[in-house]
């Protein structure tokens, strides 16, 4: 009988416990970065908030910088996951793009997302070397908006264009109202009616330039 057969349940619960502790640490780190900012957050504070020892925190993450990098990755992942609408050749472009942008605006209206983005942006400004690599990796992964534009272009319904360039243009039309004022000036998230107005105008401007007439 193998050691696994003799102790079939030993490794899995231990692994689950380790994963739970890691998740607790990440959640605590995100909350500390969000409420206290990067400089004021310490590994001691994170350990206390997570209910684990400082040694346990270091067993999972060698430094505060590693945790901050993970927070930026999760921030990007939340943004990318929220805008995940597969392109459909059987639906009008206006309908699809409006839905895509409303999903984006829904995320940008989340106070927790904005608070984390503000922490990340402040650190990128104050210590660009620390955040530059992770920001570059996030840019390389693309986004749901870019993927949608690429699919619509390949389907012949949008004019040939660099999808990344067009995606940045489109997101700029949205973020100039629903991200930058909130992150840099502390303005409140847009109300529903304002989000719809931003989405409708962005769709009209974007398709007015890039859509191919049929």
pLDDT in tens, 167-190: 999 999 999 999 999 988 989 999
CB–CB of 26/56 below 8 Å? no
- In Å, how far are 76, 133, 148 from 136, measured between CA atoms? 11, 5, 21
- In Å, how far are 15, 17, 155 from 12, measured between CA atoms? 5, 9, 47
Residues 80-103: pLDDT tens digits? 666 668 999 999 999 999 999 998
Q: How far apart are CA 175 and CA 198, in angstroms?
A: 9
CA torsion, ordered 109, 112, 114, 119, to nearest 10 deg: 180
Residues 26-46: pLDDT tens digits? 889 888 888 888 888 999 999
């Amino acid at each position: 009988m193998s050691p696994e057969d003799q102790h079939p349940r030993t490794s899995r619960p231990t692994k689950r416990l380790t994963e739970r502790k890691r998740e607790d640490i990440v959640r605590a780190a995100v909350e500390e970065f969000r409420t206290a900012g990067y400089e004021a957050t310490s590994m001691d504070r994170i350990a206390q908030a997570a209910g684990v020892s400082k040694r346990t925190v270091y067993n999972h993450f060698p430094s505060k910088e590693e945790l901050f990098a993970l927070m930026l990755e999760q921030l990007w992942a939340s943004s990318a996951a929220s805008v995940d609408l597969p392109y459909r050749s059987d639906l009008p472009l206006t309908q699809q793009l409006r839905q895509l942008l409303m999903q984006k605006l829904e995320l940008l209206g989340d106070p927790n997302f904005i608070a984390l983005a503000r922490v990340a942006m402040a650190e990128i400004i104050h210590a660009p070397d620390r955040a530059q690599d992770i920001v570059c990796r996030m840019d390389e992964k693309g986004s749901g908006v870019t993927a949608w534009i690429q699919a619509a272009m390949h389907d012949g319904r949008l004019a040939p264009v660099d999808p990344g360039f067009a995606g940045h243009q489109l997101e700029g039309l949205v973020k100039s109202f629903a991200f930058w004022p909130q992150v840099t000036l502390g303005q409140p998230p847009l109300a529903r009616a304002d989000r719809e107005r931003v989405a409708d105008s962005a769709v009209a401007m974007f398709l007015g330039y890039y859509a191919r007439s049929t």
